Structure 1
Amino acid sequence: MGRPPAAAGSGARRTRCPRCGSRVLRQLVGRRAALDVTADAGELTAAAAEALRHPNRLHWCLRQTRDGPDMRWADCRRRLDPCPHPHVIDHECTGPPPAPAQSSRSRSHRSTPVPDGQLTL
């Protein structure tokens, strides 16, 4: 029993990070509760990716399909032999933080007649 056929456009898209400009791969990974993954485009070995991994930075097994690259959960730690596929790791952006959104009209801040935290009726 194999994997069901992938939907059109379900593989990884090569793009650039909007903040830092690095080359990244973007994909929804998973069949049911998919994660929106942004990973560095640089390919690593499974061991090198595992060394960079931490609880908030996962690594992904990168398979080449007829439709292009496809990121999959890296469950290679359960294997006895090294994974033959390249791996990629979640992108940690080093760019400047995004600018806060500004409203089109400015609002003046009025003070309330009661202390902070107290509601008025």
Structure 2
Amino acid sequence: MPRPPSTGSGARRTRCTRCGAPVLRQLVGRRAALDVTADEGRVTAAAAGRLREANRLDWCVRTTRDGPELRWADCHRRDGPCPHEHVIDHQCTAPPPAAQRRTSTTTSVPDGQLTL
């Protein structure tokens, strides 16, 4: 069965909005796509397997005419090592954003009454 034509929806090179690290972003999957943000640093399939955790996946990077494309790293099940480079989900090192502070304000209506 032939593959559907490429839509050019490969990974975008960008920076993490919190820590500024270079990352790759892409919707991966055709039916229930995941919004993936992965570190741009590429590693071998074996190294990615060692970095993988329960909530940190690794992704197979294929180079297409449109640039890098992230795919599910299901190549771990085949015999032999995967010939493609891999990337790992980004773990931001920036501190979490400060909680928004609520300031108490006084209103001219009694407690429990809504104002418009």
The whole-number CA distance in structure 1 between the counterparts of 2:100 and 2:30 is: 34
Deviation at 1:62, TM superposition (A): 0.1
Deviation at 1:39, TM superposition (A): 0.1
Matching residue of 1:42: 41
CA displacement, residues 4-58 of structure 1 (integer Å, 9 cap, x when unaligned): 12223x1000001111111100000000110000000000000000000011000
Matching residue of 1:18: 17
Determine whether 1:108 maps to 2:105: yes
Deviation at 1:83, TM superposition (A): 0.5
Q: Give the aligned CA root-mean-square deviation in angstroms.
A: 2.2
Unaligned runs of 5+ in 1: 113-121
The whole-number CA distance in structure 1 between the counterparts of 2:52 and 2:86 is: 11
Unaligned runs of 5+ in 2: 112-116
Matching residue of 2:79: 80
Alignment identity in percent? 68
Matching residue of 1:6: 6
The whole-number CA distance in structure 2 between the counterparts of 1:19 and 1:48 is: 26
TM-score, L = length of structure 2: 0.84
